[in-house]
Structure 1
Amino acid sequence: MSYTLIDAGVNLTNHQFDEQHQDVITRANTAGVSRMLIIGCDIAGSKQSLELAIKYQQFSTAGIHPHDAKSATNELEVQLTALANNKQVIAIGECGLDYNRDFSPRDVQRSVFRRHLTLAEKLDLPVYLHERDASDDMLSILKEFNIRGVLHCFTGNSVALKQYLDLGLYIGITGWVCDERRGKELQQLVPSIPLERLLIETDAPFLIPRTVKPKPKSRKNEPALLPYICQTVAQLYQTDEELIARKTTENFYNVFGLKSC
């Protein structure tokens, strides 16, 4: 492979990766994935994500996923600020709204989401956003703030995409785009994302690209499979994989305010 990639979203703290972190990262490096962003989904997970980022020289986020918004305490801002004081933590999140599962009450999700955005503004950090079946409320709340960041794992429609882009957000594309069944709408929308706003991510261990042949016996996604997403995205833009790799790498460093290395 003549190019390298950055995986803009990995759930490396997921139990499916227990005792396998070094192997996962080694396989990723072998596949041309040079860096990855390890996602924090609750306070404990954000702490573990930071520990892994330090140990393996990666990046991490700190936040509470909307599924876990009900677990947020009055100490949320103090806890996240302490984590964000570490240079490996480059974004506040994963945060947002998920009305598809409703694992936390919607009013609680909205409240906790606003707390994340307020803190991100205060700390001058990007946000790492999650939205599922909640674009109207998500967009309404985002417009209350002056934030920058990425909408991770975008699976919405053209109307929502335009509004997210109008807010200046970057768009994360996962293996969902490789699904010939449920990814059809996303495949049509991807070319309308300006290349300057595109990121690619595995969201591992979830959303394994259906273009992977043969399928891993574990059916588990991992960063080493990011090239399959790059390949599909390149086909949709009718360009080469090297360009997608270069642009998404540049975009990663730009949105998170990092110096490339």
Structure 2
Amino acid sequence: MSDTPQHEASNGESPLPEALRITSPTPLVDIGANLTHESFERDLEATLARATNANVTTLVITGADLEGATRAARLATRFSGLHATAGLHPHHASDWSGELEQSMRNLHQQDVVVAVGECGLDFHRNFSTPADQEHALEAQLALAAETGLPVFLHERDAGRRMLEILHEWRGRISDAVVHCFTGDKQTLHGYLDLDLHIGQTGWLSDERRGHHLREFVADIPGERLMVETDCPYLLPRNLPAKIKGRRHEPALLPWIVRELAHWRGESEAELAQQTTLTARRFFRLEEDAGK
């Protein structure tokens, strides 16, 4: 039986200042939470309780390598409202092997694993060579085609090549989301033309590098848009109070929804409801609909 995170005690210490404790008007799904990160080891249950208090009721834990995906699946088995992805991030693409492929295939058979990935292309850092990245990506697209699971994609500075590869595979995979999309308008419309979904994070609020998204984020149809924290990374830079340690967490997802709704010309409630419906449909989480 899955555990249910308990509400934080009234006298317990929270890393979130009072000014940051807002609640979504309707339940939210965080489609990208890196809860296996070491920064959550000491207070995971409290983190989940804060998410629940903020009405972030469903979380998809990102599995970006074999160890992380295995741990993500274990957490999803332990706690209600949690699900997992299983894949190999392009940073680690050089580790792809036949043995790893079989291990990922085994993970994809678990009910708590709802997507193949995080996989994709990252030509910004090239921690693995582009050739290795493309090989690992196509191998994981093949796994998605085999299992019927949707794909959780990462892309940075590689839009043109990603579009080429996905164009070849689109008819064989069930669905895909480009999580934490940060690219340009042309690339966005290329993904939308392929009937892909788009994930948005606090990058939108980053005055150094995210303001361009404000010009075209409204172009994303509501039925293709999902929201995520990508925590502990990408803490929104325009929060009204500072967080000690600057660790992002799922309880802050309502702030991202608020910012996104503003630039799309929608109400927070409308955006929250639509993104949740979209996420539950995409990841096939109908069992969470009543929570």
Report TM bin, short chain.
over 0.9
Q: Which amino acid aligns with 2:92?
A: D
Q: Would you say 1:174 and 2:201 are equivalent positions?
A: yes
2:246 alignment partner, SS class: coil
The 2-side partners of 1:111 and 1:239 are apart by 40
2:166 match? 142
TM-score, reference length from structure 2: 0.88
Counterpart CA distance in 2 for 1:257 and 1:34 is 15
Query: How far off its partner does 1:21 sit?
Result: 1.3
Are 1:17 and 2:17 an aligned pair?
no
Structure-1 separation of matches of 2:121 and 2:130: 8
Deviation at 1:257, TM superposition (A): 2.5
* Corresponding position of 2:91: 67
Equivalent positions of 1:1-261 (< 5 A) are: 1=23, 2-57=25-80, 58-145=82-169, 146=171, 147=173, 148-259=175-286, 260-261=289-290
Deviation, structure 1 residue 52:
0.8
What is the alpha-carbon root mean square deviation over aligned residues? Answer: 1.0
Structure 1 stretches lacking a partner, 5+ long: none
How far does residue 258 in structure 1 lie from its aligned partner after superposition?
A: 2.8
Q: Structure 1, residues 144-185: CA drift from partner, whole Å, max 9, x if none?
A: 112212100000001100010111111000000111231111
User: Using the alignment, how far apart are the partners of 2:208 and 2:129 within structure 1?
Assistant: 30
**1:105-124 residue CA offsets vs partner (Å, 9 max, x unmatched):** 11000000000001100101
Deviation sequence 1:62-105 (CA, Å, 0-9, x none): 00000011112211321111111111100000000000010011
Name the counterpart of 2:5. Answer: none
Q: CA deviation at 1:19?
A: 2.5
Alpha carbons 1:65, 1:94 under 8 Å: kept: yes
TM-score, normalised via structure 1 length: 0.97
Quick one: distance in 1 between partners of 2:70 and 2:153? 18
Counterpart Cα distance in 2 of 1:222 and 1:108 = 32
- Which amino acid in the other structure matches residue 154 of structure 2? H
Amino acid aligned to 1:216: I
In 1, the alpha carbon distance for the partners of 2:139 and 2:152 equals 14
Distance of 1:132 and 1:211 partners within structure 2: 23
* Cα distance in 2 between the residues matched to 1:244 and 1:87: 28
Q: Distance in 1 between matches of 2:166 and 2:100?
A: 19
Q: Note if contact 1:49-1:60 (Cα within 8 Å) is conserved in structure 2.
A: yes
Aligned length, in residue pairs: 261
Per-residue CA deviation, residues 209-260 of structure 1 (Å, 9 max, x unaligned), is 1122211011110000001100001101111100011000000012123313
1:39/1:60 contact within 8 Å kept: yes
Secondary structure in 2 matching 1:221: coil
What residue in structure 1 maps to residue 8 of structure 2? none
- Contact (CA 8 Å) 1:149, 1:256: kept in 2 or not? no
Question: Which residue identity does 1:257 align to in structure 2?
Answer: R
Greater C-alpha Rg: 2
2:42 is paired with a residue whose SS is: coil
CA contact (8 A) 1:211 1:228 kept: no
4+ runs deviating over 4 angstroms:
none
Aligned to 2:11: none
Q: Which residue of 1 aligns with 2:3?
A: none
* Worse-matched range after superposition: 169-178 or 181-190: 181-190
